[in-house]
Amino acid sequence: MKRTLLIMAISVAAIGGIQAAPLPATIKVGSAESLTGDNASYGVSIRHGIELGIEETNASGFLGSSKFQLVIYDDKADKQEGISVFNKLINDDKVVTIIGPTLSGTAFACIPVAQKAGVPVIGTSLTAVGITAMGNYVFRDSLPQAAVIPGTLAAVAAKYKPKKAALLFQADQEYSKSEADVYKAALAKAGIELVASESYSKGDADFRTQLSKLAAKKPDIFVFCSLIGEAIPVLQQAREIGITAPILGGNGFNNPNVIKNGKEAAEGLIVGASWFVDSKNPKSRAFVASYTKKYGSSPDQFAVQGYTAVQILATAIKNAGSVDRAAIRDSLTKIKGLDTALGTFSFDENRDPVHPSMPITVKGGKYALFE
């Protein structure tokens, strides 16, 4: 009898032990972001969001006694560097998931590496068409251009009823080109005639000739698809040559530097945002408060997306009860109706994010909802 009891006790303990297999004490999360160069304002912002997210997750004990550890490298907005950094994160640091990279152009080069190695990737700033199509390990919480642009354009069209539009984009940059294509399609669908389209290349700083050509066709609205480095001079030169028609900026303009350095030129700019710093969502307010306290400046859309990526990852790991890369991937696909600072968040069947977006405008030197 005693022997039977002993065997039963040991079995129960063993089964109990297997079921309660704990997560490792340290869970390495990798990240590749543009920390230097023109696009560093996005990368550093994302980094801050991720770090705040990790700090809060660790402090709250969400994953029990396990703690996230961030391993982050600079992808320098360069494809080669992106591939090299991804390899390092996957093989040397053996991270469970990678958050990043910052630019879609870099992503098209380095994400296939992760897909092949079976490492989940969560993009927090990748909006170009085709990102999640790279494979079933690729996720993003940054609303793709195709999701945001039609809504933004509809809002602008309702207010200004434009008939003609002109477009300026960067021809040798994947994000900008992709956004320009999405805009062209959205404009056509909305019945707005694209009367002029001009482009510039990497390193250009004087856009006056292109802008004059656009303005000569007298469009009712202008659409600019630029990264932050060019966004500000484009805006300023546009105002300088006398453009007063409404200006619609792409995702690259979702950066507080546009207001800070663009100053009066940014006034009246309209952008399709996935998030807005004065959003009334309680989780967002809490995030804004903590972020501002920790970093001394208000967060932007990229920071909140980085922060939310950590929350999504933590939730996926907790639900899976494991840090096995394939298990995390499967768990990520099941994220539905999660309450985040971005609003109610879900991944769709293509691993793209589903959450409400909003057009915002610059009014009186601050972002405000566009109405």
Q: Which residues bind other proteins (CB under 8 A)?
A: 36-41, 44, 171, 198-201, 203-206, 208-210, 212-213, 216, 228-230, 232-233, 236-237, 240-242, 257, 260-261, 263
Contact 235, 265 (CB under 8 A): yes
Q: How far from 346 is each of 122, 140, 275, 350, CA to CA, in Å?
A: 13, 11, 15, 11
Closest CB to other proteins among residues 213, 318: 213
Closest contact distance (angstroms) between CB of 116 and other proteins is 31
Closest CB to other proteins among residues 242, 296: 242
Closest contact distance (angstroms) between CB of 81 and other proteins is 15
- Report how far residue 174's alpha carbon sits from residue 350's, in angstroms, rounded to the nearest whole number: 20
Closest CB to other proteins among residues 68, 169: 169
Closest contact distance (angstroms) between CB of 245 and other proteins is 16
**How is 235-249 classified by DSSP, letter by letter?**
HHHHHHTT--S-EEE
Closest CB to other proteins among residues 81, 352: 81
Closest contact distance (angstroms) between CB of 216 and other proteins is 7
Q: Is 291 helix (H, G, I), strand (E, B) or coil?
A: helix
Host H or E run for residue 325:
helix 325-333
**Amino acid in the structure at residue 230:** E
**Buried/exposed code over 215-231 (b: 16+ C-beta within 10 A; e: otherwise):** beeebbbbbbbbbbbbb
- Report how far residue 228's alpha carbon sits from residue 232's, in angstroms, rounded to the nearest whole number: 7
Return the biggest CA–CA distance within the chain.
97
- Report how far residue 143's alpha carbon sits from residue 358's, in angstroms, rounded to the nearest whole number: 11
Closest contact distance (angstroms) between CB of 218 and other proteins is 12
Closest CB to other proteins among residues 264, 339: 264
Closest contact distance (angstroms) between CB of 15 and other proteins is 55
Contact residues for 255 (Cβ-Cβ < 8 A; gap 6+) = 41, 42, 45, 228, 231, 300, 302
**How is 122-139 classified by DSSP, letter by letter?**
EESS--STTSGGG-TTEE
Closest CB to other proteins among residues 67, 213: 213
Closest contact distance (angstroms) between CB of 233 and other proteins is 5
Closest CB to other proteins among residues 211, 332: 211
